[in-house]
Amino acid sequence: MASKNVNIIDIIRDRKTKLPTLSVVASNVLQLASNDKTSAYDLAEFISKDQALTNKILRLSNSAYYGLVKKVDSIHRAITVIGFHDVTSLAVGISVFSSFKMKGIAKVLDMKDLWLHSICCATAAREISKKINITENEQIFLTALLHDTGKIIFALYFPEEYQKVLQEAAELQTPLFRKEQEVLKTDHAKVVGHLMERWNFPDNLSTPSRYHHDTSRCPLEYQKEVLIVDLANFLCHKLDIGRSGNTAVLDITKTLKMLSLTIEDVMKIVKEIKAQLPKMKEFLQLMA
Ligand SMILES: [Fe+2]
Ligand SMILES: [Fe+2]
């Protein structure tokens, strides 16, 4: 177990630290996806070389989550039907989910609960984006899906301390990120920002993740994304879909105002999210 005096950010920054690795395929997929010159054909060709990943993407594409009528039988077809960015998100999401299948974490965090929270946030973020007519925001699903993975790093490196942090935050009804800052001198949002940097994730993924509990400091360029994740996170907590270890969520009045959303808009988004719960659960089974 890491000593209390060791700075978690230093651990992540230290190239010698053995962090959960992102598969080579996933990091190449991310690089391909962020290159404007990459065609759907290039991406499909690349993913199709990995049979296990291909099978998982096809199973997810054919799940109720996407609700397609016709069967998707190739990555080419998946890109045409569910889209270039969704296929990218699935490829990277699957890889991150499997990177964290490690013994010991389960003693601190309930991974099934955390992943359901993550899938709910990703689904909610997509619904919010639709509501505010953001179409160019394709990475939002993945940002919301991975926003809390910093908690897993805490559970891995500071299991005893983190267990205490989780317990105290719940007992005192303190937002988890505040308790983390108090005890561990950093929070899971900052940690995930560093982890994503280490994994060479593009800025449009790492920056909104890093600021999801400090939205006012997020660079203007990613202000919308960070507000969407903040609202998605709030809604999933209130709907009690999945669990993230946090039991005290902060008010989102300011976030709603900044996104120009009314209470009626939020009620519609909530209805959409609730309707998708069975699909999210199926998605979780296939993803995990
Ligand atoms: Fe969080
Ligand atoms: Fe969260």
pLDDT band at 2 (very low <50, low <70, confident <90, very high): very low
- Looking from the CA of 114 toward its CB, the CA atoms found within 13 Å total 19
Q: Which one is predicted more confidently, 2 or 158?
A: 158
Give the pLDDT of residue 46. 95
Instruction: Quote the ligand 1 centre to 129 CA distance (angstroms).
Output: 19
- Which ligand gives the minimal distance to the CA of 191? 1
Instruction: Quote the ligand 2 centre to 188 CA distance (angstroms).
Output: 10
Q: Which one is predicted more confidently, 46 or 11?
A: 46
- Which ligand gives the minimal distance to the CA of 237? 2
Instruction: Quote the ligand 1 centre to 47 CA distance (angstroms).
Output: 30
pLDDT band at 1 (very low <50, low <70, confident <90, very high): very low
| Pairwise CA distance, residues 139 & 142, whole Å | 6
Average pLDDT over residues 248-257: 92
Instruction: Quote the ligand 1 centre to 147 CA distance (angstroms).
Output: 6
Instruction: Quote the ligand 1 centre to 189 CA distance (angstroms).
Output: 6
DSSP 127-179: HHHHHTT--S-TTHHHHHHHTTTHHHHHHHH-HHHHHHHHHHHHHHT--HHHH
Task: Identify whether the C-beta of residue 64 lies closer than 8 Å to the C-beta of residue 278.
Answer: yes
Reply yes or no on whether the pLDDT at 59 is more than 70: yes
Task: Identify whether the C-beta of residue 231 lies closer than 8 Å to the C-beta of residue 215.
Answer: no
Percentage of residues in the chain having pLDDT higher than 70: 97
Reply yes or no on whether the pLDDT at 253 is more than 90: yes
pTM: 0.92
Residues surrounding ion ligand 2 at CB below 5 Å = 148, 233, 244
Instruction: Quote the ligand 2 centre to 80 CA distance (angstroms).
Output: 31
- CATH architecture group of domain 102-288: Orthogonal Bundle (1.10)
Task: Identify whether the C-beta of residue 246 lies closer than 8 Å to the C-beta of residue 118.
Answer: no
211, containing H or E segment: none
Reply yes or no on whether the pLDDT at 152 is more than 60: yes
At position 38, the amino acid (one-letter code) is T
Sequence ranges of the domains in the chain = 23-99, 102-288
∠ CA 182-187-191, nearest 5°, is 145
Measured CA to CA in angstroms, residue 146 lies from 73, 127, 171, 286 at distances of 27, 17, 26, 17
3-class DSSP state for residue 255? Answer: helix
* pLDDT single digits (tens) 169-200: 999 999 999 999 999 999 999 999 999 998 99
Give the pLDDT of residue 6. 60
Average pLDDT, the chain: 91
Give the pLDDT of residue 136. 66
